Structure 1
């Protein structure tokens, strides 16, 4: 189907931007337990042979429909596929290098290595491969997301003041209080969303990035999870970004995002494809959000494990400051690594052999006014780590990273 309209006039930019900001605030609140993580992304195209015949909408009208959506209750199944082009680690995934991951998880003999149920490690597994999730939401105080495996299940449950994470494979649980998150800058009743896990999460990030650097169109319709949907397409105008285009399937009745597909500028399969395969907008059963640790479960309270980094005065040590260079799709995040030095030299005992092989397989050596460094590449997010301990990262090309580092010196 041909697009309903071409790119909108620049005179509408301010109104369009305000609508997107509103949309980002009001999308259905299906949240996940938060961890500090990079942008990740997801399979099949939205189009099918049975695309519904829907009334025509402009891009602005569709964005306003998303913004007006009052969906706060739903349940369903989400399929996520991520293909960042990362090399195989022979059984060691990205979580192998994170506390609580496969290379540092807790267990009966691993009390000093954190909890295997800590969301900081478990949800990073969504950054690669195919995953099936069950999600449920009943307003801002109750959400649940479960990652289903062949023989196990990992769930994060938010119910009022409590957040529980439970890993059935290890029979470990992780417990946090909303009040603790609020003290660190989060709002009560909301879980941090650095790791997107539903079409809403991905759409929210994309809409926040959509401004005058983006062409926004309505490109036909689709059937998603048996429901009629419009296809909203965001295409970056900037060169230098690794993002080709983003397609969001928006439920024609409720305005809820049902599917998100990100295609890289380099072509090939989607980097990210997240979509409902089944969805119900009725209120989930109340006991969906109940959780009591099974007998014998090892429970870790937030702030009690070695994963909580504290300074000599007992206070939490904050995350490194992030500075943004540039604007739009070619913006680059600058982070100064602690200690003022870059990656360990090849053969260093400071890094596990698997991690060193992983980094070597991704990196390209570069030089410039910033000195020297290594660019690590995926199909979407690239990062330049300089030898003096500065990281420049974004959904941008290698040349854009180097230029950002050059302009910063």
Structure 2
């Protein structure tokens, strides 16, 4: 029985009375790894593949498949060993202080060459750290807090462990914010949660989104919708946009394709006439199965584009979410007619002045109710026994948000459901009129004959 089997057996024995099952890593999943120095790295777990984690080494991905998230693993000879979690203990009060410590080269007689020789000989990282502690001249003069910090620094330098992190929306947003916050337009975790709440994202809703934040906003909307509803994104590319964030969320492709569609700014124009190659070719001109499959795929794309445009122009969407690099006011003017009454409009920008200008524009239009600009504030804390305090560094901002509600500037306007019912009734009456007209023409032709 392996170490993994022992841990899993203990977990199953202790939780036999519960039906909750922890999410496990599957082949093809993207996983986040927390390294000893606190950095987060994203990897893809493919069956029979080899995963390389920088200086920590490499291992077979098969050893992660089927394992729950949150376990700490150590790389030993290209294999993984599960490390049991450490328990937090109260720090004992001592009379030791740091005032008598004189830092210098002489306090650590163990040289870099000797440490490298220990590493090459296969000595475990914990033994190397213990040797450094034993050789340190001033270690006993340190406070208990300083000793813990010293150990953590050495573990970050020599340890070959990592912890698997589930790629939830919170973790993915935090990962990208720390990695390159400009690519997600400075959207912090608290900002993303405010966007989703202000826009009232829910399963079964219908929304329009303009996302230039690498797909983070789209991922948040899809996550809240849970595979139910409709989301149309507007982009500036001819092909469907490639959202780098979405690849790490491990979404089911079928559930995404049934909810998500995209248009570019040209096809989102009502007077746009698409110039498309012919999809209907006479059978005698089809020379191969490959050509037949290509024509079939082309027809599906054309039909999907026409269906998405028709759905957008029909309107009555439940919300408009914008996180774009372009000026927001023209976007709001263009897309607001397609959302229903009482629908939320949420605009995000890294710069407050842009939203202030947008707020002034919207205040002059009576169909926008209470446009409000807000900025979130977030402070992280270190929570340890006797050492709970705010972190020494924190992010300056998570961006700014503008929220408004669309209202009908018409005294005779009705509620949303009534408005939708009237639109449906008008379309039904229109189709019935067309049928009656065609029947009358057919009757007249029969009479003439």
TM range (shorter): under 0.3
State the structure with bigger RCO (CA 8 A, min sep 6), 1 or 2.
1
Higher percent of residues as strand:
1
Larger Rg: 2
Please give the TM-score of this superposition, normalised by the length of structure 1.
0.21
Which of the two has greater helix per residue? 2
